[in-house]
Structure formats: C-alpha cells, structure tokens
C-alpha cells in the first residue's frame, strides 16, 4: 500500500448514505445513473462504483472509454454510459466492453454499427443525445426522429435511451429558469418526434445534480447524479432553495483531504516565509510545515485565504504554497500544535469545523468540482 501522511480519506458509508438520500428525494421509481467520471470526482472510480453497485445503482457514467474499461476490468457489471465523444480508435474498445455511447449523427452511428458488427454484438445499446441548448454535443431536437429511425435500421444497434443536458439548472435567476424550461420543452419535442416515428426512445434522462434538486418535473426515467453523491450541492443557490422549500436532502461530504504537521518551527518577528517572501512574521510565532503543495492539488491561489484545521482549530496558511509543501502560522499561544498532528485541509475535522471544497473553490473563483477533481494521483486514497 502507498504510504504518505498527505491523503484523501474517502468515507464510502457517506457515499452510500447520499445515494439513498437522493433515491428518497427523487422517488423509488426514478433510476439513478451515478457519474463516476474523472475518477469519481477524485474519490476513486473503482471503489465508488463497487459501493454504488452494491447499493443497487442502475447506471454509471464515465467521460472516456478508458474510464469505462477500468470499471469493467474491476468487475463492474451495470450499464456504463460514456458521456463524452470518443475517437474512431476507441469505438471498438467501447463495444467490446459493452459501454453505452451517446450518439447524435449518422457518421458516429455508422462507426458503432461497424464495430458492433465486427464484435458480433447483438442489440448494442446507444443513447441519442439531443442538444436542447447546452451547445456541446447532441443533435438538433428536430432531427431526433430521423436519427432514431436511422439507429433502428442498423442490424446491430438498439436505441436504449434519449437524453439532453441543461446549461444552467443550478441557477434560480428567472432568465436561467426560463432557459431551462425551454430546454425541457425542446427535449419533450425531441422525445415526441422519436415516438411519432414509431420508435421506443428507451430511457429518458436529462437531469444532473442541479436539476434533480431544483426541477423534479425533469426527472423523466432517470437522473444522472454526480456532485450530490459526493455530498456537495451544485451551488449555494440550490442549497438555499432546498432549505426554503423545506425539502430536506441531507448530504454528507464523502472526501476529507488531510495531512500531518511534519515540523513546528519557532519564528522571530521579521522572519519571512516561502518564495517571494510575501509573508513576514509581525511578532514571534510558531510555523507549522505541511508536506502538501500545488502538485497535490493545493493551488497556489488558495494562499492567502486558506485555513487548515488542527486539533479542531483553524490556522491560516502563510506565504506562497510551494509545489510540495506549505507553511501555517500557528501563533505563539497555541503550543498544543505538535509534530504529527493531523491537519485537515477540507472535509471532516473530528474536533472542529474544517473548510469545505466550496470554501476553497471560492478562493479561486471556481466550483467544488474543480477542487475535488484537481487532487492529484500522488495523493493516496484511503477508504473507510
């Protein structure tokens, strides 16, 4: 096993809790597809997928064929959606591993038909992606009937589902809500035109975490949940909105990023810390050294601003965060902070309240997704 005092603690019981909490919120009848792309948002795709499979997850979703293959190699049996497009060389691998692609034009459908024929796949399932306004992948809604027909005429393919993706479901601004409702309407039209062509569209799905919470009318047959499974709300707005409606979705944060104090050093007033000597002690103090830096995902832009939780108390990182280390100002009156004490960067701190991935995201004008997926491979994942 890899050893390092800087690690991510992944609480799989919390992941399980969130899954059932979400299931309760959307209702038993709605299928759940768990997004485990980008190594399950940094949590480790194989372990999370296994846990979710044991909870009875209906589908998993990855971004790349490689990610899907990793899950299959580790014995994952549930259907796996591939949310991003792959290049021609990956198509055959996708078919061989029974990964379910999103398709939306004739050329791409042809590629999967050829690969399915070569692999002797019968009824290889593809989902039709509709661009209702996200402007990323998908067919124009009015082409969905034609494409569904095109798929149905392919001897080795079957239309397993139809889907779209919302661009601003995490916002409750009226213009954004209107936009989402327009997308919903276009998606409904797309589904109808498939049905009018006499084809069963299969599983209809469009909501990611945000819409699953904000717009229950868009759940259709399945939601695609990522972030909420890991215990975060897509935005503060969603969290506040839910609180205001009294619908309680109690999420637990699955990930804790922590390290240990590897040295505590006395500093004299006037001594400075780290590259560019941007921070200078204004009085005599103690400086703790942590073996974690931007190569681990602790971005330089977090300092100044970030505070780590040691023995239940928050202490500011001072000076620039280095590639592999950073320094924390303990002050002169906190002699309880000792070498080998745990320092929580974000997540669960036993005796106190640590920062969250949302807090860190705010320091760098980004979102929790980017913080969690940005924790590098160098950081071992430990599963509880």
* 208 forms part of the interface with ligand PLP (CB under 6 A): yes
In whole angstroms, give the CA distance from residue 18 to residue 322.
35
Closer to ligand PLP by CB, 220 or 279: give it.
220
Output the CA–CA distances (angstroms, integers) from residue 339 to 3, 50, 261, 330, in the order listed.
18, 36, 5, 12
Q: How far is the CB of 176 from ligand PLP (least distance, A)?
A: 15
Residue 295 · residue 268 · CB < 8 Å = no
Catalytic residue among 31, 37, 204, 253: 37
Q: How far is the CB of 135 from ligand PLP (least distance, A)?
A: 13
Q: Which two tokens stand for residue 309?
A: 């939780």
Q: Which helix (H) or strand (E) holds 129?
A: strand 124-129
- Give 139's DSSP letter: B
Query: 281: closest CA among 294, 268, 291?
Result: 268
DSSP track, 4-54: -SSEEEE-HHHHHHHHHHHHHHH-TTSEEEEE-HHHHHTT-HHHHHHHHHH
Rounded-to-integer distance, Cα 164 and Cα 186, Å: 10
CA 273 to chain centroid, in Å, comes to 35
Nearer to ligand PLP, 36 or 309 (CB): 36
Q: Cβ(382)–Cβ(9) under 8 Å?
A: yes
Minimum gap (Å) between residue 231 Cβ and ligand PLP: 12
**35 counts as binding ligand PLP under rule CB under 6 A:** yes
Q: Select the span of 2-10, 52-60, 206-214, 354-362 touching ligand PLP (CB under 6 A).
A: 206-214
- C-beta of 55: minimal distance to ligand PLP in Å? 17
Q: What is the DSSP string of 218-281?
A: G-TTEEEE-GGGGT--S-HHHHHHHHHHT--------EEEEEE--EEEEE-TT-EESGGG-EE-
C-beta closer to ligand PLP: residue 11 or 209: 209
> Does residue number 226 form part of the binding site for ligand PLP (CB under 6 A)?
yes
What is the nearest approach in angstroms of ligand PLP to the Cβ of residue 2?
27
Q: How far is the CB of 76 from ligand PLP (least distance, A)?
A: 18
Which residues between 158 and 177 bind ligand PLP (CB under 6 A)? 165
Active site residue 37: yes
Element (H, E) at 346: strand 342-346
Catalytic residue chosen out of the listed positions 275, 332, 338, 377? 275
Of the pair 12, 83, the CB lying nearest ligand PLP is at: 83
**Which CB, 210 or 321, lies closer to ligand PLP?**
210
* Part in contact with ligand PLP (CB under 6 A); list of ranges 2-10, 218-226, 249-257, 312-320: 218-226
Stretch that binds ligand PLP, among 18-26, 223-231, 268-276, 348-356 (CB under 6 A): 223-231
Helix or strand holding residue 163 (H, E) = strand 157-163
- Interface residue with ligand PLP among 154, 224, 253, 381 (CB under 6 A) is 224
Q: Which of 210/375 has CB closer to ligand PLP?
A: 210
Q: Which residues are catalytic?
A: 37, 275
Residues forming the site for ligand PLP (CB under 6 A): 35, 37, 83, 165, 208-210, 224-227, 234
């Amino acid at each position: 096993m890899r050893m390092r005092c800087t690690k991510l603690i992944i609480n799989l019981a919390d992941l399980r809790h969130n899954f059932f909490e979400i299931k309760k919120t959307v209702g038993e009848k709605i299928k759940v597809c768990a997004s485990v792309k980008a190594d399950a948002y940094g949590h480790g795709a194989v372990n999370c997928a296994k846990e979710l499979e044991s909870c009875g997850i209906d589908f998993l979703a990855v971004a790349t064929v490689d990610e899907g293959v990793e899950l299959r190699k580790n014995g994952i049996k549930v259907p796996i959606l591939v949310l991003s497009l792959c290049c021609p060389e990956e198509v055959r691998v996708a078919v061989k591993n029974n990964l379910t692609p999103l398709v939306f034009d004739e050329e791409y459908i042809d590629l999967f038909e050829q690969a399915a024929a070569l692999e002797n796949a019968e009824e290889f399932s593809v989902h039709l992606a509709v661009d209702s306004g996200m402007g990323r992948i998908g067919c124009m809604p009015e082409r969905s009937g034609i494409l569904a027909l095109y798929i149905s005429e392919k001897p080795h393919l079957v239309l397993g589902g139809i889907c779209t993706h919302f661009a601003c479901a995490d916002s409750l601004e009226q213009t954004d809500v209107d936009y989402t409702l327009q997308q919903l309407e276009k998606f409904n039209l797309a589904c109808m035109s498939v049905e009018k062509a006499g084809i069963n569209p299969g599983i209809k799905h469009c909501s990611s975490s945000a819409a699953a919470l904000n717009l229950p009318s868009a759940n259709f047959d399945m939601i695609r949940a990522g972030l909420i499974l890991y215990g975060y709300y897509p935005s503060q707005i969603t969290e506040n909105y839910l609180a205001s409606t009294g619908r309680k979705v109690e999420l637990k944060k699955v990930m804790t990023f922590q390290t240990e104090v590897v040295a505590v050093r006395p500093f004299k007033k006037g001594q400075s810390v780290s590259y560019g000597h941007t921070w200078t002690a204004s009085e005599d103090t103690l400086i703790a050294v942590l073996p974690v830096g931007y190569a681990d995902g602790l971005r330089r832009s977090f300092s100044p601003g970030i505070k780590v939780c040691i023995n239940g108390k928050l202490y500011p990182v001072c000076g620039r965060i280095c590639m592999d280390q950073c320094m924390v100002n303990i002050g002169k009156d906190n002699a309880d902070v000792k070498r080998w004490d745990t320092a929580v960067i974000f997540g669960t701190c036993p005796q106190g309240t640590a920062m969250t991935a949302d807090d860190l995201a705010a320091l760098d004008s980004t979102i929790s997704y980017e913080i969690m997926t940005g924790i590098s491979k160098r950081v071992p994942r430990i599963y509880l």
